[in-house]
Amino acid sequence: MARFSLASQSVTLTAVGDTANMTDSGYAFFLQGGSSTMQLRVSEVQAGGESTSSATALMVFGRDSTVAATSISGCTNANIDGSSVAPGTLAVFGRVSTTKPQRSATLGHLLQHSFNAFGGLVRWQARQGEEITVIGNTASLGELSYSGHTGSSGILSAHCVYELVALAVGIPALAMIVKMVLGASAVGLVA
Amino acid sequence: MRSLASLEGVLLIDNRCNDGVPDEIVVSQGLPAGSGRGIFEEACYTCSHCEAQVVKNRDRTRPRGFCKGCNHVICDACDARYHASSHQCVPFKAFAEEVRNAAEKGAADPIAEAEVYFHQRLIIGA
């Protein structure tokens, strides 16, 4: 299905430890499934430092044991392929919320980005099929966040590229049935 | 034919225009010494059991964890669990499918349902 780029601009990092409330706009972003059956696959995470002096950013991309909720805002989400039709239900994203995300102590460190935010940059790209998955919209598999670990400081912008793989279990099965009955050309209509 | 190298992604850390990050910090974050200076580009792989990203350490001489069930490299933590559980293989992608199946069936806690299905508790603590 559709691929998206989730971007967050000029974030002044607020360091946060595991299982502690993140500060609004003090972390780059969180990415959460839009429904209990939604599946997302993150294939790229990139950050560029914008600090005007040396600042160590210890960025962590990982799962949250408390997911964000209520009054969610911040960040931008763009469909990468301008000609594709976005699905009706989108992922939930942002860096501001009433219930703050909390990074999981056990699943919260899937990817470690340590760099100097004084003009440094860091990027991770996954091979196709090796992406990091978000399942559903509840803890601890339903949300990923990109935040500065204890000791972090600096200003940065970041983005992640993800694919909205499936909304519901029934859709791929339905697509397979249509493919068998009508041929491959019809699959694009439903999946 | 698929090779282990074909599973690799890439991590790039570019600190060419600044002082970089001291070794004691990058090592404490699980990255190789020297990765905080200049430009660091290294292959990494996704553990098929937990989806953690493992940056390859070229100086490593110990064999990497490998699951014969899913024919995939796994991280050290999952490798220890893999051997402790008599080589039980639960790929994360299969686990994800089961969670979504349980959610589709209206389970109150789809993750717990999936853990029961696989007879393995994957989510530990907070």
Given a cut of 70, is residue B1 above it in pLDDT? no
Number of separate helices (H) and strands (E) present in chain A: 1, 12
Do residue B92 and residue A104 have CB atoms under 8 angstroms apart? Answer: no
In angstroms, how far is CA A55 from the centroid of its own chain? 24
User: Between residues 44 and 103 of chain A, which touch chain B (CB distance below 8 Å)?
Assistant: 49, 54, 56, 58, 65, 102
Q: What is the rounded average pLDDT for all residues in chain A?
A: 88
Do residue A166 and residue B100 have CB atoms under 8 angstroms apart? Answer: yes
H helix intervals, B17-108:
23-28, 76-84, 92-104
Q: What is the pLDDT of residues A74-84, one digit of tens each?
A: 999 999 988 77
Any CB–CB contact under 8 A between A133 and chain B? yes
E runs forming strands in A37-152: 39-49, 56-66, 76-79, 92-94, 102-103, 111-116, 121-125, 132-135, 143-148
**What's the pTM value of the predicted model, to 2 decimals?**
0.88
How is residue A35 written in tokens? Answer: 């429904």
SS3 A143: strand
Which of the four pLDDT bands, split at 50, 70 and 90, describes residue B2? confident
The ipTM assigned to this model is 0.89
| Angle B22-B27-B31 from CA coordinates, rounded to 5° | 110
Between CA A188 and CA A190 the distance in angstroms is 6
8 Å CB contact between A3 and A80: yes
Paired residues of A102 in beta bridges: A21, A66
Check residue B119 and give left, alpha or beta (phi > 0: left; psi -120 to 50: alpha).
left
pLDDT given for residue B122 in this prediction: 56
Between CA B30 and CA B27 the distance in angstroms is 5
Which of the four pLDDT bands, split at 50, 70 and 90, describes residue A185? very low
Q: What is the pLDDT of residues A60-113, one digit of tens each?
A: 999 999 999 999 999 999 999 887 777 889 999 999 999 999 999 988 899 999
For chain B, give every domain's residue range: 4-89, 90-120
Residue that has been written with the tokens 């989400």 in this structure:
A77
Of the ranges A53-57, A175-179, B49-53, B93-97, the best mean pLDDT one = A53-57
A124-128, A187-191, B31-35: range with lowest mean pLDDT: A187-191
Which of the four pLDDT bands, split at 50, 70 and 90, describes residue B121? low
Do residue B31 and residue A151 have CB atoms under 8 angstroms apart? Answer: no
Mutation target to probe the A interface, by most A beta carbons within 10 A, among B29, B56, B90 is B29
Any CB–CB contact under 8 A between B45 and chain A? yes
pLDDT given for residue B123 in this prediction: 47
